[in-house]
Amino acid sequence: MIIVADAGPLLHLFWVNASSWALPPHSIDVVNEVWEEVESHAPAALQDTRLRRVVTSVQEPQDITRRNLDRGERVALSYAISQRKAGQDVLVLCDERQARLACSELSLPVVGSIGLIVEAFRAGRVSLEVASVALRNLPGPGRLHIKLQLVESVLATLKEPRES
């Protein structure tokens, strides 16, 4: 599986101290344009050894260029499409609404910061308490533009895993 990250989850999870456990425990491809965007806001977020800088010159499909996406999002999605065409399973890490909509319309699996925190909790990589703190911090210190109501509804669905 190829995991391709946009800037959002890398930054938001870093700002709430969740990168180490919320990002997937696999190699994550970060196209150069996204790398530079993250570097301009939080260079330390790029020190995670799972992150792999990818310099690519993939052509942006028309389905991507016609959308209102920033350069990093366009290149990341174009790279993800090129990997899928090469026969790879792909997962896109993205928080931006327009880019997530593009992923949906292009049949690219996508997960954002909230989903990554939930997945980490369900996989047992973090406790409910730690996941809850990270989720509640996303709209403030995490700078993710979401309503607290969404965070509270997600928290209501989480339950501590039962020991077998």
pLDDT tens-place string over residues 134-162: 999 999 999 999 998 999 999 999 875 55
Tokens 């996508």 correspond to what residue? 110
In this prediction the pTM is: 0.93
Evaluate whether residue 69 is within a structural domain: yes
Are 89 and 61 in the same domain? yes
Are 96 and 125 in the same domain? no
Question: Do 69 and 102 meet the contact criterion of CB atoms below 8 Å apart?
Answer: yes
Render pLDDT for 38-81 as a digit per residue (tens, 0 to 9). 999 999 999 999 999 999 988 888 889 888 999 999 999 999 99
Are 131 and 61 in the same domain? no
| Residue 4 to residue 141: CA distance in whole angstroms | 24
Are 105 and 120 in the same domain? no
Evaluate whether residue 18 is within a structural domain: yes
Looking at every residue in the chain, the average pLDDT score rounds to 95
Are 60 and 129 in the same domain? no
Helix (H, G, I), strand (E, B) or coil at 133: helix
Are 69 and 101 in the same domain? yes
Helix (H, G, I), strand (E, B) or coil at 113: helix
Domain containing 19 equals 2-113
Render pLDDT for 73-86 as a digit per residue (tens, 0 to 9). 999 999 999 999 99
Q: Tally the domains of the chain.
A: 2
Encoded tokens for 39 = 């570097």
Are 92 and 132 in the same domain? no
